[in-house]
């Protein structure tokens, strides 16, 4: 098992990529604390984990990652329950669509508070564990939308772009202390956020599928598997990297197909 007895924290762990990663980490022998704001969804995840007897273990802690005191409480809970955090996956996030003039100040603050401030707060409170141990791995949830831009996604693009450069900055600052910091940058993944887009925008699923070189949309497990690798000792020399999990969409310039001429 790649993560046997590693103490891991996963934010936004009750659905989508977070849920898949919680399960994969437990399968690999990790002891996981995962958080979220929906106890009902958390109960379902815990039910799935019970079926993995003989592997790792997991505990749910209700936490809004944009709330400083709640994150501090989760830090204390983790240390008391399992010990100091060794692997941190900052996965929690929301999506807000709209061009800048269509994005209210409330929506802007909401996405920045959860997607960006949440990463800051969780890292701020858990990094002392890693600094004391002189070892740790942090994985930040970025996006292809943090590396390149989309139409009508100003706030989301800004938040994910900030995470990309924050990841690089942290990778430089903490490498001397044997703490690695990387980001995963998924493209279209079948999560609640994307399924909601498909439900609200007629024909959008077909458009997404046709836009990707693989002509497919990934499942959350495909991102979770990359996180298992990044959290393992097999990835010890990977630091400050943006791992694209996007079916090749960012490999394309976007210029039209011209054929041979």
Helices and strands (DSSP H and E) totals, the chain: 10, 7
Any catalytic annotation for residue 261?
Answer: no
Contacts of 214 (CB under 8 A, 6+ apart): 247, 248
- List the beta bridge partners of residue 60: 34
Q: Which residues are CB-neighbours of 212 under 8 A, at least 6 positions away?
A: 187, 188, 246, 247, 248, 249
Q: Which helix (H) or strand (E) holds 57?
A: strand 57-62
The catalytic residue among 82, 120, 135, 156 is 156
Sheet holding 7-10, edge to edge: 57-62, 31-36, 7-10, 87-90, 136-141, 179-186, 242-245
- Cα 2 to the center of its chain, rounded Å: 19
The answer to whether residues 185 and 223 touch, using CB atoms and an 8 Å cutoff, is no
Catalytic residues: 156
């Amino acid at each position: 098992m790649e993560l046997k007895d590693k103490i891991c924290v996963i934010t936004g762990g009750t659905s989508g990529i977070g849920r898949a990663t919680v399960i994969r980490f437990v399968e690999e022998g990790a002891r996981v604390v995962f958080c979220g704001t929906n106890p009902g969804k958390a109960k379902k995840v815990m039910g799935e984990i019970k079926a993995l007897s003989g592997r790792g273990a997991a505990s749910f802690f209700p936490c809004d990652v944009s709330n400083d005191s709640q994150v501090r409480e989760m830090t204390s809970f983790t240390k008391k329950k399992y010990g100091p955090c060794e692997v941190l996956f900052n996965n929690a996030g929301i999506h807000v669509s709209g061009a800048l003039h269509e994005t209210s100040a409330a929506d802007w603050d909401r996405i920045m508070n959860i997607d960006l401030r949440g990463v800051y707060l969780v890292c701020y409170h858990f990094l002392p564990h890693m600094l004391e141990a002189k070892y740790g791995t942090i994985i930040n949830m970025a996006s292809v939308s943090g590396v390149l831009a989309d139409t009508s996604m100003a706030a989301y693009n800004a938040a994910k772009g900030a995470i990309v450069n924050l990841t690089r900055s942290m990778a430089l600052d903490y490498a001397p202390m044997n703490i690695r910091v990387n980001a995963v940058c998924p493209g279209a993944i079948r999560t609640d956020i994307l399924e909601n887009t498909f439900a609200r925008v007629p024909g959008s699923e077909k458009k997404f599928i046709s836009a990707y070189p693989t002509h497919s949309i990934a499942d959350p497990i495909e991102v979770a598997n990359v996180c298992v690798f990044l959290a393992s000792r097999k990835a010890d020399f990977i630091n400050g990297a943006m791992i694209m999990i996007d079916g090749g969409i960012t490999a394309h310039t976007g210029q039209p197909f011209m054929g041979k001429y």
